[in-house]
Amino acid sequence: MITTFTENDLLRYLYDESSDNEKTDIENALVCDSELEARFFDLKLDSTLLDELFFDPADFTLEKIFSFSSNYSSSR
C-alpha cells in the first residue's frame, strides 16, 4: 500500500507530534522516496532558520506597550 504524506504530516514528525505508527510509516517512506526525503529536509532547514530569527520590536512599540500597561494597572 502506498501512503502519501502531506507537509503537515512531515511537520508533525519533525516536531515529534506523530503517533508511533505514523513515525514508523514516515521513516520507512523517507528511506524509499527521495522526493519525500527532500521535502522533509527542506522543512527541517526552514525550521532551523526560523529558530535562528531574532525579533526585535521597535522602541516605539515597546513604549506603547509599557504606557498602556502602566495606565491599565494604575486605573484598576
Task: Give the pLDDT of residue 38.
Answer: 97
Is pTM beyond 0.75? Reply is no
Cα-Cα end-to-end distance for the chain: 63
Task: Give the pLDDT of residue 20.
Answer: 97
Task: Give the pLDDT of residue 12.
Answer: 97
Question: If you write DSSP's letter for every residue of 2-16 in order, what string do you get?
Answer: -----HHHHHHHHTT
pLDDT reading at 17 higher than 80: yes
Q: Strand, helix or coil at 18? A: coil
pLDDT reading at 75 higher than 80: no
Domain ranges within the chain, ordered by starting residue? 7-74
pLDDT digits (tens, 9 = 90+) for 19-68: 999 999 999 999 999 999 999 999 999 999 998 888 888 999 999 999 99
